[in-house]
Amino acid sequence: MERTVNIDIKATAGFVSDADLSWYESLAFKALDILEDGSGRGSDFLGWMDLPSKTDESIISNIESIVKDWRRDINLIVVTGIGGSYLGAKSAIDALSHSFRNNIGKDLPQIVFAGQNLSEEYHAELLDLMKERSVACVVVSKSGTTTEPAVAFRIIKSYIEETYGRAEAVRRVVAVTDESRGALKGLADKEGYRTFVIPDNVGGRFSVLTPVGLLPIALAGFDIRALINGAAGMEQICRERSSDNPAVKYAAIRNALYSKGKKIELLVTYNPKLQYIAEWWKQLFGESEGKEGLGLFPASVNFTADLHSMGQYIQQGERTLIETVVSVKRSNRSLEIPLDEENSDGLNFLAGKSMDDCNKMAELGTKIAHYDGGVPNILIEIPSINEFNLGALYYFFEKACGVSAYILNVNPFDQPGVEEYKVNMFALLGKPGFESKANELKGRF
């Protein structure tokens, strides 16, 4: 059976010695043991580890019932959340959708996101769109008080109630929230919204395989059973104490390179469908490892487009970069480059080749050029873009992230630095109880 995630580290040769790599592999095994036995920092948040194999059938069937209900008359679904509450769902929907989904395929509802920013224009223009459509909302928040999604949901809830009435609003709003506490849970109980639970032991950036991700992905028309099955298969593979474990291999090599002065990891994709997979990955690794003065800085580029903007720096800038390429072995579509009798562009040597052949050669040529320019390259390959393979990829990255963070000896599951800006924002916005902080801040800058 074809492996869903394959790692190739040949293009790191010369940057890390065999002895160094062996040392970091031993550290990765120790970190894996800590994850598996739950003895590390943050062990209260390990619910994601066996989530694929233990997903309850009732969750799937309840999601499917909402899909069936809303498919009758709703053509715009607004998903309200920020960070892990939206990036997983958006990354999967973007990867699996037709690139021009909103212009063709009108039988499927349009999925849009809100509450991931505080832009007045964005949310006002969202209201413009809502006025043209039949609208429902999935609001995702463990607490219900995170500023960005809470403000957006207040606006969307008000519109739905005014447009359809409060009784119909109950049908058109679903909350994904805490099981028993929090402002959103209280509101959902009061109004009678259908709800799904965000498990207490699963943090936001690890939540794509909970209803946080599964519900929007299913509403977009995709097979969440296949997604879960792909993740469940990878769950078994990433548990193995073996050098063939892709999570162990990836965590070991990226930390070995970090020890040699590489400070920035670029996640590279060659398919624009994967752009938001990179955005999801940046939060996963940045929020899990970036603490205590440690951690590779996660960044991303989409080639070949970004070769025309970032290629010069990558080739000849400061030599602190690692490239990790997420490569797709087979395209889901076939498109051949035609012959042009006049050959005015000089490209007839490409006639008869597929677009994907050209993309693959661009990938290989770029890898060689950047390697020769001093940039080590890690290759992560999946067979194709589908639900099963994406489920495997999500789980692989989650497990590798846990292992990698424990190699650094940081807690992968907290984010104390995130609270700093929130306190400042609350004070400057006039939240009761933050008056002294507001006075202090207003004298700055």
Active site (catalytic) residues: 287, 308, 422
Residue 194 has a CB neighbour count (10 Å cut-off) of 15
Residue 210 has a CB neighbour count (10 Å cut-off) of 24
Residue 155 has a CB neighbour count (10 Å cut-off) of 18
* β 194-197/173-177 pair status: parallel
Residue 238 carries which DSSP code?
T
- What is d(CA 64, CA 215) in angstroms, rounded to the nearest whole number? 8
- What is d(CA 176, CA 63) in angstroms, rounded to the nearest whole number? 11
**Which one, of 390, 406, 404, 411, lies nearest residue 208 by Cα?**
390
Q: What is the dihedral of CA 186, 55, 248, 245, to 10 degrees?
A: -170
Q: If you write DSSP's letter for every residue of 176-218 in order, what string do you get?
A: EE-SS-SHHHHHHHHHT-EEEE--TTS-GGG-TTSHHHHHHHH
* β 135-140/110-114 pair status: unpaired
Q: For residue 63, give both structure tokens.
A: 């999601």
**Which one, of 354, 329, 231, lies nearest residue 271 by Cα?**
329
Which contiguous run of DSSP H or E holds residue 380?
Answer: strand 377-382
Whether residue 253 contacts residue 24, with contact meaning beta carbons closer than 8 Å, is answered with yes
